[in-house]
């Protein structure tokens, strides 16, 4: 999911960079920096480091096509939407700094890799509004299902962008790449659900989106 700058027109990269910068500033503005608790910071920074490590275990097939676990759903559930968006930007910047990515395509990559964050937030709101306030709903729907859906949509967006830009034929992307993203959805779902299951039992104070009063009482 590390899109190469050479595969896209400069104007697309520029627009993506500006849009990403605006959304990041908005996310940073919404975070109550002066009232952050130690538990919230521990969960946020710890999850960011773990996700950064997960991204190092990747398989690169072609330029702009690499497969790795995203961890964005878990990061969103632990730290919340705005902090998760900042963490993904920091991870991508670290990747670019160590020559595992490109600065020119940083904004576009951030927009693509942020897809699971928005999906997770949407499904979390949906579950709270339409489903029972139940621990198992949180784990199986908001962690397992959201993790898989986030990976699938990220793969779909990646293939659409590469095909539209003419980097690869749509037939190649649909037949040779998209199925791998579908397969990657299952380990993404399992790792997200398993980690959140452990955290809400042993360290619920690290998980911003989990409320004992709401889900257990």
pLDDT digits (tens, 9 = 90+) for 172-195: 899 888 898 999 999 999 999 999
| Contact yes or no for 193/144 (Cβ under 8 A) | yes
Instruction: Check residue 38 and give its pLDDT.
Output: 92
Question: Taking Cα atoms as reference points, which of 48, 77, 76 lies closest to residue 215?
Answer: 77
| Contact yes or no for 108/2 (Cβ under 8 A) | no
Rg (CA), the chain: 17
**139-144-148 Cα angle (round to 5):** 160
Q: How far apart are CA 15 and CA 19, in angstroms?
A: 6
Chain segment 46-100, per-residue pLDDT in tens: 999 999 988 888 877 776 677 889 999 999 999 999 999 999 999 999 988 887 7
Chain segment 111-161, per-residue pLDDT in tens: 999 999 999 999 999 999 999 888 899 999 999 999 999 999 999 999 999
The gap from C-alpha 176 to its chain's centroid, in whole angstroms, comes to 23
Instruction: Check residue 118 and give its pLDDT.
Output: 97
How many C-beta neighbours within 10 Å does residue 215 have?
Answer: 18
Task: With cut-offs at 50, 70 and 90, classify the pLDDT of residue 17.
Answer: very high
- Alpha-carbon distance values, 152 to 51, 70, 115, 183, 187 (Å): 18, 11, 10, 9, 12
What the chain holds in terms of domains, given with CATH numbers, is: 5-215 (1.10.1760.20)
Q: How far apart are CA 142 and CA 11, in angstroms?
A: 36
């Amino acid at each position: 999911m590390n899109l190469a700058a050479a595969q896209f027109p400069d104007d697309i990269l520029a627009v993506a960079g500006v849009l990403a910068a605006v959304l990041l500033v908005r996310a940073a503005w919404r975070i109550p920096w002066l009232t952050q608790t130690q538990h919230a910071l521990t969960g946020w920074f710890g999850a960011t480091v773990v996700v950064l490590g997960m991204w190092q275990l990747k398989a690169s097939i072609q330029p702009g096509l690499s497969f790795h676990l995203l961890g964005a759903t878990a990061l969103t559930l632990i730290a919340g939407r705005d902090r998760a968006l900042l963490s993904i930007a920091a991870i991508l910047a670290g990747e670019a700094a160590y020559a595992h990515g490109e600065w020119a395509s940083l904004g576009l990559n951030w927009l693509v890799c942020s897809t699971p964050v928005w999906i997770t937030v949407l499904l979390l709101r949906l579950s709270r509004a339409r489903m029972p306030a139940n621990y198992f709903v949180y784990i199986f729907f908001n962690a397992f299902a959201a993790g898989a859906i986030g990976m699938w949509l990220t793969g779909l967006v990646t293939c659409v962008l590469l095909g539209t830009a003419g980097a690869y034929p749509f037939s190649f992307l649909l037949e040779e790449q998209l199925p791998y993203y579908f397969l990657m959805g299952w380990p993404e779902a399992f790792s997200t659900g398993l980690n959140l299951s452990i955290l809400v039992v042993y360290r619920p104070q690290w998980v911003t989106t989990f409320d004992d009063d709401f889900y257990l009482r």
